[in-house]
Amino acid sequence: MSRSLSEIAPTVHRLHESVQALEQAAGPLELPPLTGREWYELLSMKLVPQLCEDAFLIVAVVGGTNIGKTVVFNHIAGSRASATSPLASGTRHPTCLVPPGFEQRHDLTQLFPGFELRPSHSPEDALSDSERHLLFWRTEASLPENLLALDTPDIDSEVRINWERADQIRRCADVLVAILTQQKYNDAAVKEFFRRAAEEDKVVVIVFNQIQLPEDEAYWPLWISTFCDETGIRPEHVYLAPYDRRAAEENRLPFYERRWPQVEGADQEGTQARNLLADLSQLRFAEIKLRTLEGSLDRLLDAHDGVPSYLRQIEDRSHDFRRATELLSAHELAEIDTWPEIPSALLVTEIRRWWATQREGWTAQVHGFYNTLGRGLTWPVRFVRDRWQPDAVPPLERYRQQEWSAILDAVEKVYSKLTWMRELGNPLLRPRLESLLSGTSRAQLLHQLEDVHRQVDLEAELSDLVAREMGSFRTDSPQSFEFFRKLDSVAAAARPATSVVLFVTGFGPVGHAVTPVLADTALQSLVHVVGDVAGGTVAAAVGETALSGTAGTSVGYLEARFRKLHMAFTARRAAWLAGQLKHLLLGTLPEEMQSAAEIGRGSETVLTRQLLQDLAQQMKDIQRESENV
């Protein structure tokens, strides 16, 4: 074989592995499988097993129903190698004759992928009825050491599985011996088979069988010309075989070679019969092998029906998924404008708890004592409130109820948006959204959401948020934090003299007695926070200057921090709902869509495209070398 073709074998093998990996990676794109694509069958059945082998030829006898294929095959073999039948579609499985010792030098299973190879014990083996793709083989001493001969099923049989087997043989073969008759030369199925062979640049030898000589001498050129024009076949040799049933059965049918294409004025008649096996043995093996392999490679590289077209399909399909993914992500599934705000009193209480953990030494003791005293002093107020409002819903539980109302509203908006997306008609989204929008699905989702929402520990959520945000306050603004620590110490020193005054004026102990008085706004809640941080005494002890003058900047910073806490908690809860909707409703759909959208730019696609470019360049180099020889 050509040294150049042997050198591109590694690229072909890597390309074969790459497209297989690409097919697996491209599974989510739902493309037709590689199996059945002509270029892939050639890659798997012809190029991979034969590119590195010696220049042997696989010669297959092919043709339509009941036209004498097996008769011609037996003449090539020089014996009754395959059984003949007067009935159509007699041969159901290929029969392969190999020269002595060939199976020891070559792996027959690699040369005929897709077939289950079995030794042939009888000429009738090929007539057995089986759905399995069987190929029977035996050694034939009359064959030259580098030639294999095959008898094949009919290419126009009513049994469709015969077509599949004949197609697989066509891909594996180097030379096709086309058996034609006056009844079959213009048959549509026969012509389609040979059109594919012409596209692969197969070497074809025509045997026009069952011809009446000398009566048909004027007609066979017209018949063959029609066949060649309709299929694109340019035969290497043309033989005429007369209609002689007895000679066919006794394996002594004569074959007369005719010049093709015809030369005007040349004598076409010949009386000397040719030996088909001898003529086939004289074929230019290396040249033919090179030609058939190059033909398969050209088909592989074909922009319209080769690997490039497969890559385009992947890119186009990935683009479709990308558009569907963008549609899914470009529109918020729900714009939640009714999400409740956590009551400031709850937020203030949690900030107090956190600040209490920051106190140390005598400051912690003083504040701890007076906070306990404050709770004692406000006990009558709380007692009266609980007595007159025995069925009052705790603030945290009331907030949970408000959240559930917001969740119901959000779910309704989500289903409305998904319905709108389904009705847009995107062919990839529509079937995936159908199951999500069923009534059962919605009821199940609400039931699941209600369960998980009831189990949420809102107090722990609030505590975690405050700890994180206030810890960030301490880290991001150490000066402001230290300022409030000093206020806290001053308040601890002044607290014994001013506690009662603050209680009377309504500022202390904050969060209990004053809750009904102060409106639940961020700024007034800020007073709660500052009052507690300062021990509840600074405003009364040093006047408004403590807030608007010396401490003005820090107070403004703390106000912003408080507002941020409100927004952060709302965002946290909204994110929780988004996560639940993603998990319970959409599942892995967004990830699957995004993953499919990226396949066209994935590593398997990139590698396949690079190997294809390398192979194309190598083929150009081969053609350039051959032109310079």
Q: Is the pLDDT of residue 204 over 60?
A: yes
The CA distance from 121 to 235, in Å, is: 34
What does the pLDDT read at residue 331?
56
What is the tens place of the pLDDT at every residue in 478-493? 777 776 666 566 555 5
How would you class 159 by CB atoms within 10 Å of its CB: exposed for 0-12, middle for 13-18, buried for 19 or more? middle
The CA distance from 20 to 464, in Å, is: 50
Q: At residue 119, what is the residue type? A: P
Which range, of 118-132, 141-155, 173-187, averages the lowest pLDDT? 118-132
What is the tens place of the pLDDT at every residue in 114-132? 899 999 888 777 777 777 8
The CA distance from 473 to 486, in Å, is: 16
Q: Is the pLDDT of residue 227 over 70?
A: yes
Cβ pair 538, 487 in contact under 8 A: yes
* Residue 602 three-state SS: coil
Residue 328's pLDDT band (cuts 50, 70, 90): confident
What is the tens place of the pLDDT at every residue in 340-389? 888 888 887 888 788 777 766 655 655 555 555 555 544 554 555 556 55
Cβ pair 206, 236 in contact under 8 A: no
Residue 499's pLDDT band (cuts 50, 70, 90): very low
Cβ pair 530, 491 in contact under 8 A: no
What does the pLDDT read at residue 504?
34
Q: Is the pLDDT of residue 513 over 70?
A: no
Q: Is the pLDDT of residue 106 over 60?
A: yes
* Mean pLDDT over the full length of the chain: 77
| Positive or negative: CA dihedral 384, 385, 386, 391 | positive
Q: Is the pLDDT of residue 57 over 70?
A: yes
**Mean pLDDT throughout 317-337?**
75
The CA distance from 68 to 184, in Å, is: 11
The CA distance from 581 to 112, in Å, is: 53
Contacts 24+ apart (CB under 8 A), 567-573: 568/465, 568/469, 569/342, 569/347, 569/461, 569/462, 569/465, 570/339, 570/341, 570/342, 572/461, 572/465, 573/339, 573/403, 573/461
What does the pLDDT read at residue 131?
79
